[in-house]
Amino acid sequence: MLLKRLTEASGVSGNEKEVRDIIISEIKNHVDSLKIDRLGNIITYKKGRDTSKTLMVTAHMDEVGLMVTDIDSIGLLKFTTVGGVDKRILVSKPVAVGRDKIKGVIGAKPIHLQKREEWTRALNINELYIDIGAKSKEEAERLVNIGDYVSFYSDYVEFGDGLVKAKALDNRVGCNLLINLIKEVNDISFYGVFTVMEEIGLVGSGPAAYEVNPDISIVLEGTLCYDMPKLDSHLIPTYINKGPAISLIDRTTVFNATLRNKIIDIAERNNIPYQYRKTSMGGNDSGKIHITKGGSITTTISVPCRYIHSPASVMSQSDYNNTYALLKAILAEFEREEL
């Protein structure tokens, strides 16, 4: 199961190797060219029919996580966050430290020794630490180095009515979509690009776009979802099970309306459910891609993910399937030079 392997691999921003290796092993026999650039992005090209425009489809490989900053006198690890991690979701969770994935836990002060008002305050990162069970600083130092990346320790689970729980669905779900496109779409020319370090400021995508210089870019993402009842519908960023979310605007990009309307038209003609991503919060690789060199027309298509950036994010398999169907339809349209 590819999505299981992708989500259970560690790939905190700047440390994408494990994910990159899985991706390369999956796609290497299905592309006409493949290179790893100087930042660690994977840039592939598939040659199909000639088209007048250059199409680039991207997904970022990295995930949010933690990094060890210090080892204290009794062998506990101090850490900082890598990417947007809500400090409140760290308490009482297991983690995997470093290349050997040493298991550790992030504990908290016993409730018995707290004053009631302490509960109402979020714990700051500098109050938290990772316990790997080492009995001394020396023992911890034999196993862990300062600067080691730490990822959430969370398995892939299918549950409920076609839902999936995993860490890093943002953006392994995008990687999975792109891998499958590369494997299955053969008669269309396009660049498939897997970028690094999106979560720490869209680092990889600019240089990748600079190299590819696309006319049209499709950015694949896992995005924010919060679909509570009784919430005003304009405050719901995306719903689960209502199909791919097409971006309108976010903190980094005002998405091209002509391309968006064409995609919606494609979705409607093919009876594929879709929704708009209604929040303007957040940002993604489009922010760099659409303004690189002479600029490109860009869209972001996302699979809605509940509890994003946490150890237990959730998506729907039907949303995945509908997103994939929409992408294939878009690529077919591109081949007819109608995008």
Partner 1 sequence: MDTKTLLELLCNGKGVSGYEYTIKDTIVSAFDKYSDEISVDNLGNVLALKKGSTKEDNIKIMLAGHMDEIGLMVKDIEDNGFIRFTNIGGIDPRTILGQEVIVHGKKDLFGVVGSKPPHLQDPSEHDKAIKMEDMTIDIGYSKEEVEKLVNIGDTITIRRELLNLQGDRVASKALDDRAGIAVLFECIKELGKIRHEADVYFVSTVQEEVSMAGALTGAYKINPDIGIAVDVGFGTTPELSKSDTIELGKGPGITLGGNIHPRLRQKLTEVAREYNIPFQMEISPGPTGTDARAMQITREGIPSLCLSIPLRYMHTSVEVIDMVDIKHTAKLLAFFIASISNDSLEGLLCY
Residue 55 or 77 with smaller CB distance to partner 1: 77
Sign of CA dihedral 174, 288, 257, 329: negative
Residue 38 or 88 with smaller CB distance to partner 1: 88
Nearest to 289 by CA among 301, 298, 302, 280: 298
Look at the block and give the residue holding tokens 């190797």. Answer: 17
Nearest to 109 by CA among 96, 89, 88, 123: 123
CB of residue 128 vs partner 1: minimum separation in angstroms? 10
Residue 127 or 265 with smaller CB distance to partner 1: 127
> In this structure, which amino acid lies at residue 142?
R
CB of residue 16 vs partner 1: minimum separation in angstroms? 23
CB of residue 291 vs partner 1: minimum separation in angstroms? 23
What's the Cα-to-Cα distance from 168 to each of 133, 141, 323, rounded to whole Å? Answer: 26, 28, 18
- Which residue in the list 16, 63, 198, 333 is annotated as catalytic? 198
Give catalytic status of residue 117 as yes or no: no
Rounded to 5°, the CA angle 304-169-62 comes to 125
CB of residue 118 vs partner 1: minimum separation in angstroms? 8
> In this structure, which amino acid lies at residue 138?
E
Residue 46 or 277 with smaller CB distance to partner 1: 277
Rounded to 5°, the CA angle 12-132-74 comes to 120
Q: Which residues would be at the binding site for partner 1 (CB under 8 A)? A: 72, 74, 76, 84, 86-89, 91-94, 102-114, 119-123, 127, 129, 131-135, 139, 143, 154, 157, 159-163, 165, 224, 226-230, 235, 237, 279, 281-282, 306-312, 314
Catalytic residues: 198
